[in-house]
Chain A
Amino acid sequence: MSSIKRKNLTPVQQQYQDFARAREPQRPIIRNCIRAFITGGTICTLGQGIQLFFMTYFNFDEKTAGDPTVAVLILISVTLTSLGLYDHIAQWGGAGSAVPVTGFANTIASASLDHKSEGLVLGVGGNMFKIAGPVIVFGVFSAFIVAIISVIITSLGGV
């Protein structure tokens, strides 16, 4: 990505960007990865625990326990977002809090809260999917393509 942009730069611009980059604090990638690992792992382990809870006390089996588990995680995430806590967890945890489904719920809740001032219909309703929208759109579209290809291959007697 960045190499494509650099081709359109003049020599002066390229020189400056190298100059600036040498004087910028680098993103602490290793530290962030460790924190993401811990945060993401914890949230997934929590999910595993919730799943076990539903399987033990509520008659769900391994296949069907996924739904209520995800719903509970979403509720927790929305609550933490509403209490103003999720963004602080995320500053520490990075992708560890953005990648699990809790991150998805956080995008919807945070956008809803911020645009409350524009009313429920246009504000909340119209902006809720600001960040989550791409996930749904590309998820659905890629699933569509993958499924079509899969169906065609199967019907041709394939894989």
Chain B
Amino acid sequence: MLQGHQSWIFKSKPVIIGSAAIGGPFEAQGNLAKDFDLLHGDIWLGQDSYEQAEKKFLEQACETAIKKAGLKKEDVQFFLSGDLINQIIPSSFTARTLAVPFLGIYGACSSSIEGLSLASMIVDSGFAQNALVGTSSHNAASEKQYRYPTEYGAQKPPTAQWTVTGAGAAVVAQQGQGPRVVSATIGRVIDMGLSDPFNMGAAMAPAAVDTIEAHFRDLNIDPSHYDLIATGDLGKVGHRIAGDLLTKHGLNIPVEKLTDCGILMYKEDQPVFAGGSGCACVATTTFGHLLNRMRRRELKRMLIIATGALLSPMSYQQKETIPCVAHAVAIEV
């Protein structure tokens, strides 16, 4: 049901009946290691290329989520997935393996929440009994495509972020036990004229703020409604900017409530500059750690705002700025 200008309320409250998070070696050394279903010791997974390895991560996340949902591949009705690689090939090739009707989507690092919103909308409206959402990212594949060859000695500034190597997936269904998706807010594309691909946090923060404000405005609630409000991958820099921007706009979110998956993911001593990023950042944190906290009843209501930077290597070379988008989903238990 449409609520306000750009939000949806899911009357039937679709259930997340199974979710999974797969990670790589850096994530294994991170803060959330315990909430990953599987952690790999290298980023290759026995494949010949980074891109093929990323596909393997996504396949594992999807298969694990389906298993934990108590389903078989044949029971899954729709698969929504996106990632950062050109033409979203990890998603398409995973869809080939799963043989589930496929809807490829792209929201850069916001893909997982874009997918979760759409999946919930499809299930809530009766157009499916269940739907699988997945997303992945791979540090080496992203560096190779968006920035420099992985062994190239380019010095990264302190505002840079570390793309998470991993994948997250969740099965949304009409019936079952588990945390429920109750609403979603679709974000507008916001561009504040920033163009530094090594400073995504500052570029994405305005989009996150815009969507957060839209969510509270559309649903006519305030931050006290939620136990946790987590952005996807603003990192330390973007998180600080977003917090200050929200305060400046009169929306006061207490500092213990506003967090960011890119900050949660890694430990202080890991060389990740401003924090984690990539589609898998918000996906593995949400579908692993945060949903686990909900299942333990540590959180009752949370709002996840995944942010995405919609640039391409070519747009940057053509002197374009970085437009960003943020999508929000509210989950409660």
Residues of A within 8 A of B (CB): 5, 8-10, 12-14, 16-17, 19-21, 23-28, 32, 81-82, 84, 86-87, 89-91, 93-95, 97-98, 103, 106-107, 109-111, 113-115, 117-118, 130-131
Cβ–Cβ contact A23 & B237, under 8 A = yes
- Asked whether, in the complex, the Cβ of B151 is within 8 Å of the Cβ of A20, the reply is no
In the bound complex, do residue A27 and residue B153 qualify as a contact, i.e. CB atoms below 8 Å apart?
no
Which residues of B sit under 8 angstroms from A107, Cβ to Cβ?
149, 152
- In the A-B complex, list the 3 residue pairs whose CB atoms are closest, starting with the nearest: A90-B153, A117-B49, A110-B151
CA distance A5 to B159 in the complex (A): 20
Q: Which of the candidate stretches B1-9, B12-20, B61-69, B240-248 sits at the interface with the other chain?
A: B240-248
Cross-chain pairs A/B with CB under 8 angstroms, 10 sampled: A17-B194, A24-B202, A24-B237, A91-B153, A91-B155, A98-B153, A98-B155, A110-B149, A114-B144, A117-B50
Min CB gap A89→B, angstroms: 7
> Looking at the complex, which one of B154, B157, B193 makes contact with A98 (CB distance below 8 Å)?
B154
Q: How far is the CB of A84 from chain B (nearest CB, A)?
A: 6
Contact with A5, one of B144, B193, B205, B245 (Cβ below 8 angstroms): B193
- Extra contacts, 9 of them, besides A24-B202, A24-B241 (Cβ < 8 A), are A19-B245, A19-B248, A23-B202, A25-B158, A106-B152, A110-B150, A113-B151, A115-B149, A117-B48
Evaluate contact between A86 and B151: CB separation under 8 angstroms. yes
Query: Is B199 an interface residue, CB under 8 A from the partner?
Result: yes
For the residues of A in contact with B, the DSSP-based class is helix
Chain B residues whose C-beta falls within 8 Å of the C-beta of A25 in the assembled complex: 158-159, 237, 274
CA distance A103 to B51 in the complex (A): 27
Contact of A23 among B148, B157, B193, B240 (CB under 8 A): B240
- Which B residues have a C-beta under 8 Å from some C-beta of A? 48-52, 140, 144, 148-159, 192-195, 199, 202, 205-206, 237, 240-241, 244-245, 248, 274
Contacts of A115 in B (CB 8 A): 144, 149
Which residues in B have their C-beta under 8 angstroms from that of A82?
151
- In Å, the complex CA distance between A113 and B156 comes to 20
Tell me the minimal C-beta distance from B147 to chain A in angstroms: 11
Check A20–B153 contact: CB distance below 8 A.
Answer: no
Whose C-beta in chain A lies nearest to the C-beta of B236?
A: A25
Q: How far is the CB of A21 from chain B (nearest CB, A)?
A: 8
A21 and B48 alpha carbons, distance in the complex (Å): 41
- B120–chain A nearest beta-carbon distance, Å: 32
From B148, B149, B206, name the one whose CB has the most chain A CB atoms within 10 angstroms.
Answer: B149
A129 vs chain B, min Cβ distance (A): 12
B155 touches A94 (CB 8 A): yes
Q: Which residue of A lies closest to B244 (CB)?
A: A23
Min Cβ gap B154→A in Å is 7
How far apart sit A105 and B51, CA to CA, in the bound complex (Å)? Answer: 25
Give the contacting residue for B205; candidates A10, A20, A98; CB below 8 A: A20
Contact of A24 among B48, B159, B248 (CB under 8 A): B159
B193 with A27: CB separation less than 8 A? no
**Shortest Cβ distance from B99 into chain A, in angstroms?**
26
Contacts of B150 in A (CB 8 A): 87, 110, 113-114
Taking CB atoms, residues of chain B closer than 8 Å to A14 are: 193
A118 to B157 CA separation, bound complex (whole angstroms): 30
What residues of B have a CB within 8 angstroms of the CB of A131 in the complex? 148-149, 152
Closest residue of A by beta carbon distance from B319: A5
The residue in chain B whose Cβ has the minimal distance to the Cβ of A28 is B158
Minimum C-beta distance from B19 to chain A (A)? 31
CB within 8 A of A91: which of B48, B156, B240, B244?
B156
Give A91 to B150 CA distance when docked, in angstroms.
12
CB atoms of A87 and B50 under 8 A apart: no
Contact of B153 among A19, A23, A24, A86 (CB under 8 A): A86
Chain A min CB distance to B312 (Å):
16
CB–CB A17/B50 < 8 A:
no
Closest to A117 in B: B49
Residues A13 and B151 in contact, CB atoms below 8 Å apart? no
Minimum distance in angstroms from B238 CB to a CB of chain A: 9
Give the shortest distance, in Å, between B272 (CB) and chain A (any CB): 12
C-alpha gap A28/B244 in the complex (Å): 24
Q: What residue in chain A is nearest B158 (Cβ atoms)?
A: A25
Nearest chain B CB to A118 CB, angstrom units: 8
Residues on A with beta carbons closer than 8 Å to the beta carbon of B144: 114-115
Note all chain A residues with C-beta closer than 8 A to B195.
5
A9, A19, A114: which contacts B151 (Cβ < 8 A)? A114
Which A-chain residue is minimally distant from B157 (CB atoms)? A27
Q: Do A9 and B237 have beta carbons less than 8 Å apart?
A: no
